[in-house]
Chains A and B, each alone.
Chain A
Amino acid sequence: MNWEIVAGVEVHVELSTHTKIFCGCANAFGAEPNTLICPVCTGMPGALPVLNRQVVEYALRAGLALDCDIARRTAFDRKNYFYPDLPKAYQISQLHRPICQNGGLEIETPTGSKRIGIRQIHMEEDAGKLIHHPTQPCTLADYNRCGVPLLEIVSRPDFTAAHEVIAYLESLREILLFLGVSDCKMQEGSLRVDLNVSVRRKGSGEQGIPTEMKNISSFQSVGRAMVWEGARQIQLLESGGEVLRETRRWDDGKHQGFVLRSKGGAEDYRYLPDPDLPILEITQEQVEQLRSTLPELPRNKRARYQREMGLSSQDARTLTTSREVAALFEKTTALCQHPQEAVNLIVGDLARLCTETATLPENLQVDAAKLAALIAMIRSGKINRTVGKEVLEQIFFRDADPVVYVAQKGLAMVDDPALMEAAVRQVMEENPKSVADYQSGKEKAFGYLVGQTMRSLKGKGDPALINGILRELLKG
């Protein structure tokens, strides 16, 4: 029988604010347990939430970048459930009036581009962290993460293949990074993906019972989980069974999903409007103002790099993997007026240096003006490419000034023809056998003589010039 897998994702991203969503505690990863807490985020009696302005702005930025309708009036609801990582026993979230709705994101697929619908984006608070005691049968709670602001981005069930989900997630991550709203680090839990999977007969258009998959640790494993869960459901249905509405946990090591809890009908969170938080009104002017300050998104950058600068799609993609690299490229190009040289430097040697030193894009500190100066020296022939590499390393490691460095180390090219001719003559005199070899037709000897000349000039000779002079003199 022909089955079709249908999936949707809920992505939770922690926002890169200074403070938590409803209190002044620092929003920071990796602090000593229970140090970033206060009466508000630990749910003490009588403590009340006050909304962080930055969270609203970040939510709006994300909503605009993802083509959403922005709510004129938005409000918070309480989602009630008991769990030790949730001090108030309710999560302040949005259900009835989310801040953004009805958006979408274009993804590239082998068969062309496809729009994935985004049902809504809403603001909510994160829960604390629970860890199992290493030796005792108990659990330890750390509330530092309680109240860290989250955006929950809910897609429509528009995915029918694993590569679509992966493309969506990569694109989404890229956009959020470019907006500067989150660092999107899956390994630190600042980007988390829940996957909903159901199956249906191809072309039937009906909706199967979905299961939810949590604990997925990479985009690739979201794809694997989708395929595995789809196959499980199909097998189940084909053998006469039925899919149960349940929450499952994905184990990437075992390449298998496990039941986490059965939902037994829809979960009952007993939502109610939060009486402690006033309504938020968003004006059209506010939205337009914010829209005008949105940065250019990676997709648009790529198109522009190809169209206006003539870059290859591969180079355009590499340059837009992070906001920082794209910015460095654009600044450098603006200063040196030669995009391809900037690409060569950034995508080539600089990328290699970053890999070797495990430098993340956000920690990359390279001055665009210095890169531009380096490019200018290479382009004008003041230094050759070998020296260029050395200078780049000096910029990368020591923030050296390329012009000063080249001058101090005497690395500039020898461009005096008389000096060069003298060097060539000297080499010919010292290597009569090679000269004879060349003249008897052994082309290899020519290369040797060039090399020797270059050596005597300490690498600063222009190879083209040396070639010319040498050939001329060898004619005799």
Chain B
Amino acid sequence: MKELAGIGPLALGKLIQSRAISCVEAVRHSLEVIQHREPQCSTFLEVTGEQALAAAQKVQKRIDSKDERLSPLAGVPMAVSDSVCVKGTATTCGSKMLEGFRPPYSATVWERLQAEGGVLLGKTALDEFILGVSGENCAFGPARNPWDTRLASEGSAGAVSCGEAFYAVGSDGFGALRRSASFCGVSSLRPTCGTVSRYGLVAGTSSLEQAGIVGKTILDCAQVLALIRGKDSRDSTTVEAPALDWKISLRGLRIGIPTACFEGGLDPNIRQAVLAASKQLEALGASLVPVELPLADDLLPTYYVVACGEISSNLARYDGIRYGYRAKDVGDLMELYRQSRSRALGSQIKEHILLGNFFLSGEGGGDYHQKALHARELIRRGFEDVFTRCHMILSPVVPTAPRTIGEKPGNLLELYRQSTFTAPAGLAGLPAATVPCGFDSKGIPIGFQLTGRPFGEGELIAVAHGYQMATDFHQRLPGEVGQ
């Protein structure tokens, strides 16, 4: 089955459709890779091998009976982050608080993929409640970056990177999925706010989060997006987005370069790789225009205040009463709340809950939350203005190289600073794509990010795809480059 290594989900889908390979064989292949890689990478929190084989058999039957509703990705083994509720399957969102929780419902994204013949290998690790730099902050231990297992990663990025899964769907919250994809040398796509349902995605920062897709190439991500997008009657914030079309010529597309982002503390390796990518895009016919981000100095504080407020509110439901962890033998209600939450939630989560309550309460927090909501509206409008001058914005994904696991994290400021480039998409509800564009001096992949205008996914995909047709960074596999 070695010949499947390195092939993409679309190619595998074709093999399955033509019955050159069966769905069960494809799953067996993935389970073999998982067995081989997990001891080092531990990208999965749970591998649901039996169910995957059973699901594969069902999909195979549909293929054999020429079911026309099946997608080009039918039968292709994939993974979801543990933020995605799958009915009857343990869903923890990386937190002890949800240990043993089996949702009696599924997320809309998973229901749609399942209906199209998706075959789920299992649930991948992520930062507890989607809050972290890039996967290290998982209560059950971090997934590892297959390029260097001393580095953490979100499991979805790791699993796609080392070939365990052909694509993965998770939550793009604090940007950890985009950052992990970038460090793992794979592509990721975050759709415009409202394009994909959030129903059944465990919520950390509701208004800043979206489903995120990881694939080897941006086209893999685009195919997945086509399957999961669309209005959902269970998520009031979803919309029927305009048709997804990425057959757009790069010629005439204007790419905004926020010059300020390339100054200051940006890692020189990253600056070099991303600027080189911009030259490549120019060579492919796009034009580069310098832009300024709206309220540039206020972006991060705004993002952070909104995020903390929503986290404190969203995570208050974890109280040990209806599901999840409950502290044992506590006879007092207040004590039950305190002990259940204090024991089961990680330090970083607690810190953000406290900060959120600080910002939301009149006491001490000033009116920072009101100010942030105000700034957010200004920023949203500011981006509308920016997008009158360009079709998308090119930036790094992260400001600095990843740190190794266990290295004492700086403090609250670390997550804050790491969100520099990923924050705008969340704040203004914009689509974003990341694609690999080089390696740092230690051989760790580097990516660049395109942030698009609302419903501009097609343009992002076109540009990223054009780039990937001209380069081969996305084709490198971990292990090829020395550690």
Q: Which of A44, A90, A268, A275 contacts B323 (CB 8 A)?
A: A44
A43 to B318, CA, bound (A): 9
Residues of chain B within 8 A of A396, CB atoms compared: none
Binding site for A on B (CB under 8 A): 83, 85, 91, 93, 98, 101, 103-105, 107, 198-203, 206-207, 233-237, 309-310, 312-313, 316-317, 319, 321-323, 331, 333, 337, 357, 360-363, 369, 373
> Is B200 within 8 A of A47, CB to CB?
yes
Given known A-B contacts A48-B234, A270-B357, A90 and B203 have beta carbons under 8 A apart: no
Given known A-B contacts A82-B316, A272-B310, A46 and B107 have beta carbons under 8 A apart: yes
> Is A82 within 8 A of B319, CB to CB?
yes
> Is A275 within 8 A of B206, CB to CB?
yes
5 A-B pairs with C-beta separation under 8 A:
A43-B317, A51-B236, A137-B331, A270-B312, A271-B360
> Is A278 within 8 A of B199, CB to CB?
no
Given known A-B contacts A50-B233, A272-B369, A278-B237, A45 and B103 have beta carbons under 8 A apart: yes
Extra contacts, 17 of them, besides A272-B360, A273-B373 (Cβ < 8 A), are: A39-B104, A44-B103, A45-B93, A45-B103, A45-B317, A47-B105, A47-B199, A48-B199, A48-B234, A48-B237, A51-B236, A80-B360, A84-B321, A271-B360, A275-B237, A276-B206, A278-B237
A22 to chain B, nearest CB (A): 9
A274 to chain B, nearest CB (A): 8
Residues of chain A within 8 A of B333, CB atoms compared: 84, 139
> Is A46 within 8 A of B198, CB to CB?
yes
A276 to B234, CA, bound (A): 11
Residues of chain B within 8 A of A89, CB atoms compared: 313, 316-317, 319
- Number of residue pairs A-B, CB distance < 8 angstroms: 99
Given known A-B contacts A43-B317, A80-B360, A275-B310, A48 and B323 have beta carbons under 8 A apart: no
A80 to B314, CA, bound (A): 10
Residues of chain A within 8 A of B316, CB atoms compared: 80, 82, 88-90
Q: Does A49 contact B (CB under 8 A)?
A: yes
A278 to B316, CA, bound (A): 22
A24 to B361, CA, bound (A): 33
> Is A276 within 8 A of B309, CB to CB?
no
Q: Does A180 contact B (CB under 8 A)?
A: no
Closest chain A residue, CB of each to CB of B98:
A45
B200 to chain A, nearest CB (A): 4
Q: Which of A87, A137, A141, A278 contacts B236 (CB 8 A)?
A: A278
Residues of chain B within 8 A of A137, CB atoms compared: 331
Residues of chain A within 8 A of B331, CB atoms compared: 137
A44 to B102, CA, bound (A): 11
A79-137 contacts to B, CB under 8 A, are 80, 82, 84, 87-90, 137
> Is B236 within 8 A of A45, CB to CB?
no
A270 to B105, CA, bound (A): 30
Residues of chain B within 8 A of A270, CB atoms compared: 309, 312-313, 357, 360-361
Q: Does A347 contact B (CB under 8 A)?
A: no
Closest chain A residue, CB of each to CB of B197:
A48
A245 to B243, CA, bound (A): 57
> Is B321 within 8 A of A48, CB to CB?
no
Interface majority SS (helix, strand, loop, mixed), chain B: loop
Residues of chain A within 8 A of B369, CB atoms compared: 272
> Is B105 within 8 A of A44, CB to CB?
yes
User: Which among B104, B107, B235, B236 has the highest number of chain A CB atoms within 10 Å?
Assistant: B236
Residues of chain B within 8 A of A139, CB atoms compared: 333
B309 to chain A, nearest CB (A): 5
> Is A45 within 8 A of B202, CB to CB?
yes
B450 to chain A, nearest CB (A): 25
Residues of chain A within 8 A of B317, CB atoms compared: 43, 45, 87-89
B342 to chain A, nearest CB (A): 14
Q: Does A74 contact B (CB under 8 A)?
A: no
Residues of chain A within 8 A of B360, CB atoms compared: 80, 270-272
Q: Does A460 contact B (CB under 8 A)?
A: no
> Is B199 within 8 A of A46, CB to CB?
yes
A271 to B359, CA, bound (A): 11
The 9 closest A-B pairs by CB, nearest first: A89-B316, A275-B207, A270-B360, A275-B206, A45-B202, A46-B200, A43-B317, A88-B317, A46-B202
Q: Does A167 contact B (CB under 8 A)?
A: no
Closest chain A residue, CB of each to CB of B207:
A275
Given known A-B contacts A45-B85, A45-B98, A271-B360, A90 and B103 have beta carbons under 8 A apart: no
A137 to B309, CA, bound (A): 35
> Is A141 within 8 A of B321, CB to CB?
yes
A286 to B16, CA, bound (A): 54
Q: Which of B91, B235, B309, B310 contacts A45 (CB 8 A)?
A: B91
Q: Does A42 contact B (CB under 8 A)?
A: yes
Q: Does A78 contact B (CB under 8 A)?
A: yes
Q: Does A277 contact B (CB under 8 A)?
A: yes
Residues of chain B within 8 A of A44, CB atoms compared: 103-105, 322-323
Q: Which of A42, A268, A276 contacts B363 (CB 8 A)?
A: A268
> Is B313 within 8 A of A276, CB to CB?
no
Residues of chain A within 8 A of B107, CB atoms compared: 46
A278 to B202, CA, bound (A): 19
A39 to B108, CA, bound (A): 13
Residues of chain B within 8 A of A88, CB atoms compared: 316-317
Q: Which of B203, B207, B236, B312 contacts A46 (CB 8 A)?
A: B203
A90 to B103, CA, bound (A): 21
> Is B198 within 8 A of A268, CB to CB?
no
A139 to B337, CA, bound (A): 15
Residues of chain A within 8 A of B322, CB atoms compared: 42-44, 87
A89 to B321, CA, bound (A): 11
Closest chain A residue, CB of each to CB of B83:
A46
A84 to B235, CA, bound (A): 26
B356 to chain A, nearest CB (A): 8
Residues of chain B within 8 A of A266, CB atoms compared: 362
B337 to chain A, nearest CB (A): 6
A94 to chain B, nearest CB (A): 16
Residues of chain B within 8 A of A49, CB atoms compared: 236
> Is A48 within 8 A of B235, CB to CB?
yes
> Is A45 within 8 A of B101, CB to CB?
yes
A278 to B429, CA, bound (A): 14
A42 to B101, CA, bound (A): 14
Residues of chain A within 8 A of B206, CB atoms compared: 275-276
A139 to B332, CA, bound (A): 11
Closest chain B residue, CB of each to CB of A275:
B207
> Is A50 within 8 A of B361, CB to CB?
no
Residues of chain A within 8 A of B361, CB atoms compared: 268, 270
Residues of chain A within 8 A of B201, CB atoms compared: 46
> Is A276 within 8 A of B200, CB to CB?
no
Residues of chain B within 8 A of A87, CB atoms compared: 317, 321-322
A458 to B244, CA, bound (A): 89
Residues of chain A within 8 A of B373, CB atoms compared: 273
A233 to B233, CA, bound (A): 52
Residues of chain A within 8 A of B234, CB atoms compared: 48, 50
A183 to chain B, nearest CB (A): 28
> Is B103 within 8 A of A39, CB to CB?
yes
Residues of chain B within 8 A of A272, CB atoms compared: 309-310, 313, 360, 369
A141 to B319, CA, bound (A): 14
> Is B313 within 8 A of A78, CB to CB?
yes
Residues of chain B within 8 A of A80, CB atoms compared: 312-313, 316, 360
B216 to chain A, nearest CB (A): 28
A90 to B313, CA, bound (A): 7
